[in-house]
Amino acid sequence: MDTTLDAPPTYNSAKPTLSQRLGVEFLGTFWLVLGGCGSAVFAAGIPKVGIGYVGVSLAFGLTVLTMAFAFGHISGGHFNPAVSVGLFLGGRFKGQLLPGYIVAQVLGGIVGAGVIYVVATGNPTYSLATDGLAANGYGAGSPSGYNLTAALVTEIVMTMLFLFIILGATDWRAAKGFGPLAIGLGLTLIHLISIPVTNTSVNPARSTASAVFVGGLALRQLWLFWAAPIVGAALAGISYRFLTGSTGAETLAAEAQSISLATTTIGEVTSSRPFNES
């Protein structure tokens, strides 16, 4: 009787290239805008069976949850310029990658909004001027008329808390494998709170995507949906290590991290298996 134990599997996986990282950041942000803003445009207002604020909130959360699980091991799963900035300031992400990530995220979002626009205009009752494209705004651009101060505070606080969730859920000391779930549910809750105030941004790429097509007031107010999320993300990124005693960054798999301990995190890429960079 052969009692020889099977040898553990071996992997010959190359470290993701920059183009691969940027490609999945583009795709992830495309999905976020298509799923989140698309649900608002197509499904939120249908009489009797529309999904409403709750459904839209869930849709945004699900886009991040699914893409973080799908591509977190490739790019870190940011899909949001504010997240990239916050992770950089929190010691989880290399600064030289920031410009490329932000460009990929913005372009992915714009393409996602373009798909929504093309589909929406296939309905003869749709009007960009009146139905919009889930653009963010304050004052006349707010779903419930909230002013500039309310919008500014909301976006800073919501983005700061979103980054705390991301940093905490992907801390090496946290429970392994649940990061995307916590992050997706966190984004859902953020939308439940803040859709009436600003239509919820916490993501400059998502705001830019809608504003490019809607134009007018959405473009004029776009500055806030870059400035406020980045400020909120920066506050979380800088303060996280002081609140918790560590940046929370785990050892990179490329540095021979044990396969049994390695996880996929949002931030700098780690993997469930070691890279072979030879």
The domain locations on the chain are 18-255
Separation CA 19–CA 75 (nearest Å):
10
Number of residues assigned to the chain: 278
Structure tokens at 125: 């009752």
- Integer Cα distance of 131 and 124 in angstroms: 12
Four-way CATH pick for 18-255: 3.20.20.70, 1.20.1080.10, 2.30.30.230, 3.30.70.3040? 1.20.1080.10
DSSP one-letter code for 252: P
Which tokens hold the place of 108?
Answer: 């992915």
149: helix, strand or coil: helix
Average pLDDT over residues 271-278: 38
DSSP state of 254: G
Whether the CB-CB separation of 267 and 94 falls below 8 Å is answered with no
> What per-residue confidence (pLDDT) applies to 247?
84
**Amino acid identity, residue 104?**
A
* pLDDT over 90 at 251, yes or no: no
Distance, in Å, from the CA atom of 72 to the CA atom of 90, rounded to the nearest integer, reads 18
Residue bearing tokens 């996929």 = 264
Is pLDDT of 181 > 90?
A: yes
pLDDT single digits (tens) 1-24? 555 555 555 555 678 999 999 999
Tokens representing 147 are: 């002013």
Whether the CB-CB separation of 237 and 161 falls below 8 Å is answered with no
DSSP string, 174-189: SPTT-HHHHHHHHHHH
pLDDT in tens, 97-141: 999 999 999 999 999 999 999 999 999 999 999 999 999 999 999
How far is C-alpha 128 from the geometric centre of its chain's CA atoms?
25
Residue 32 has pLDDT above 60, yes or no: yes
The torsion of the CA quartet 155, 161, 163, 166, rounded to 10 degrees, works out to -140
Say how far apart CA 93 and CA 258 lie, in whole Å: 21
User: Tokens standing for 225?
Assistant: 């949906």
